Structure 1
């Protein structure tokens, strides 16, 4: 387990739900730790949680059998992706060790695209299924950090969120991971402050 994240039994149930507001597969994977700045809630507590994440992320209809070592490898990749994303946002070079971790995961054979009823989907290879699923996450990270979308990496401005996301707005000045969620809460709070006569920060 990531030693810095909590798997305590008293984690609020809402904090164990997966978050897919980031706009990229690898950033949604980073979000499997909730409240990194405060509670650091581990959402991948068991191998079955990682298998469920693959399904809920829409990556696979049938997830691979995830082992405990496979879960540990996934958590290690997740933290490497998080550190690289933070470095990109801060205008710093990523750690060579973190890049090596992403590259190693991406080097595994990926999931297999197939046609089914005229619709494309991804399936597991005959062997090393959990490595293939993780490879797809790592390859998305390589594509994100080496492409033009890297310049659109943002951290949600809400002090109660701090989710990493890709700003796909045309002007590129989006402040929140979601205008409806964090943006709506921020606007409502600002309205309440104005009504109460409290100065804005």
Structure 2
């Protein structure tokens, strides 16, 4: 099934959440795809944000999400994206982005609870969605003030802007995922080489 991006049709595979960036806040940022290109919105509706909370392993059940909540989550996500990109370029943060991030980081976050004999970790909160967004914001604050900042990469695929932590030993990882973008770009390069030959 095809869905609409701001610039045309995209496949349902492209709508899948990226949850392997290496950081919670970057997983949230990756819910918007190709920031400078097709601009794929993976939270097109309130229920999609709720589904992301569950798929991310943060909540056992989708929380209630209003349109206002969705707008607030998207604003936080965009601020984190801008802050990370500015930090990577060693620029100056926009004060309004810092204020928004700090506001969310100051709210009550998810509380870890041990269940049974240690076989399960669950997350709890009185206001689940707010706690998820507070946890995302706190993770972003930690990332932006850590040495890991130097390991943030942007996917090298032409139509992907997913930011991820490069935890590889040589530090030369190029793709957000080998299964997703890496194989696709290698096949494309292979076809182009054979056309030239």
Inter-partner Cα distance in structure 1 for 2:88 and 2:98: 16
**Cα distance in 1 for residues equivalent to 2:16 and 2:180:** 15
Q: Following the alignment from structure 2 to structure 1, what is the Cα–Cα distance between the partners of residues 70 and 8?
A: 19
CA distance in 2, matches of 1:54, 1:70: 13
User: Which blocks of at least 5 consecutive residues in structure 2 are unaligned?
Assistant: none
Whether 1:57 and 2:47 are equivalent positions in the alignment is no
Alpha-carbon displacement from aligned partner over 1:10-60 (angstroms, at most 9, x marks no partner) = 664334321223221111111111232222122212221111001101112
Deviations 1:113-152 (A, max 9, x none): 11112134233323x2221111111111111111111111
TM-score by length of 2: 0.86
Q: Name the CA distance, whole Å, in 2 between partners of 1:189 and 1:17.
A: 21
Structure with greater strand share of residues: 2
Tell me how many residue pairs correspond in the alignment: 193
Q: Compared with structure 1, are the counterparts of its residues 130 and 8 closer, same or farther at alpha carbon in structure 2 (3 Å cutoff)?
A: farther
RMSD: 2.4
Kindly tell me: are residues 176 and 11 of structure 1, through their superposed partners in 2, closer, same or farther at Cα, counting changes over 3 Å? closer
Tell me what 1:84 maps to. Answer: 83
Contact 1:105 1:135 in 2 (8 A): yes
Structure 1 unaligned spans of 5+: none
Tell me the residue number matched to 1:121. 121
Query: TM-score scaled by structure 1?
Result: 0.85
